[in-house]
Structure 1
Amino acid sequence: RVLGNKAASGTEILKELGEEHLRTGRPIVYTSQDSVFQVAAHEELILPEELYRICQVAYEIACLQFGVCRVIARPFVGRTAADFKRTPNRRDFPVPPGGVTLLGRLSEKGLPVFGVGKIEDIFTGRGLSGAVHTKSDADGIDQTVKAMRELEDGLVFTNLVDFDTLYGHRNDVAGYARNLELLDERVPELLAALRETDVFLLTADHGCDPADASTDHTREHVPLLVRGPAVRPGRDLGVRSTFADLGQTLADNFGVAPLPAGTSFLRDL
């Protein structure tokens, strides 16, 4: 038996059902506005590895039988509704990409592709030559710099999830600002790790405004910043028509076959 079994905010449902979960031992299940099924459990009650097993079973039902796109394991800690907190031991169990991906194109050419953060989960490991999960955005930046220094060629693909999970969804404006400052302080370190022909792209896949009235994703424009020794400064790339332009640009940069969607802006750099 489970608790929840409804659409809910991941932070709010812990406040609502976390204490009952501690009393009963029943996992908390809920859905998001997007096509995601989530399972939350206290780490001391249901160990993360057991939660991952539960999520794998949920994946076989929700995703393979009913077309849900992803199952997420949401371990948390705390003792009361006031202090329940998700941990970095989240794991994603998504449906594999259904078509051609940049990662696949690069791996077919023999180029290394290293994922940092939840990249390995999102792509179910496909097209990756190596990956590491991270405990925080600071750790994610550390791992990114390490990979940039170790890889002679190829792609380092990093997801910094704390902006979304810890601050955006929790409406923590001050925390979001501090994390943005942390990233800003580390950008020079990332740029210093670039080789002569490297390109650094900084963007986001969606908004998650911590000042918004909801706890869900928001729809503002996201940044697209590009730097590198060979990149001309001060170029205006405009408002892109699709996020796929980034993938197409990288395919162009690495000299692999074009992707099905997107327009390369490599010549504009």
Structure 2
Amino acid sequence: MSDAPPPDYGRLAAVGPYFALDAAAPGQDPPPDFRPLRELYAPGPDGPLAHRVREVGRRLGAAEPRVAASVLHLGLAARFCSVGLGAAALLGEVPDLGPDRAWVRVPGQGPIDLWLPYRPAPADRAPLAERFRRAVVEGWLADLAAAVRSVVPLADGLLRGNAASALAGALRVLEAHPAAGAARTLVAEVLGRPPLAGTGTLTGTPAGTAFRRTSCCLYYRVGPRAGVCGDCCFTRPPQSR
């Protein structure tokens, strides 16, 4: 274990609410109303995640559970990607947000709140990009995808596309900060390797980094006025057959 002081996760909140992460001091208990992330991922139609899918569908007016599940997955993926990319680029560290480690509070609106108990970080001499890929892509995002699929079956390509879109979205926010170069390098490395290779194209433009995914998150199926997302593989909503 390392005796170094814990990273200053308070710096992440300055980027935006999706990047915020609360971490405990030694001996500190979880804040009120927080529950282990594992509980949110409980499978079954009566679990918290299934309830959240139904709530998202109600708010969107989406009749198809898979549409609500995809939108929920994309929002949660954006939360994890923002914390992971922000911590890696700004602090040079990747927090441990696994389902047996992180605690979560689900507010009525907005991104979920995340809290970590105190634990000295184990020494890891792997390059930052490799640590980021293992933790965020092979860890958090894989756990999230499995949890969502246990509630509503979704195509693997759609879930991987959502993950890539979430990473690109976090990168766009960080481009206004000094850590933009480090964030761009990390995202390009992750998108160039399995399991996210082939999920989209990352390009530089005068306005910043652009991303075009090779899949669709199904948001256009919310209703006739929903349209398509800015990074969608479609330029206009597909016509129903």
TM-score, normalization: structure 2? 0.34
TM-score, normalised to structure 1's length? 0.32
Q: Which has the larger radius of gyration?
A: 1
Structure holding more strand per residue: 1
More contact order relative to length (CA 8 Å, sep ≥ 6): 2
Which structure shows the higher helix fraction?
2
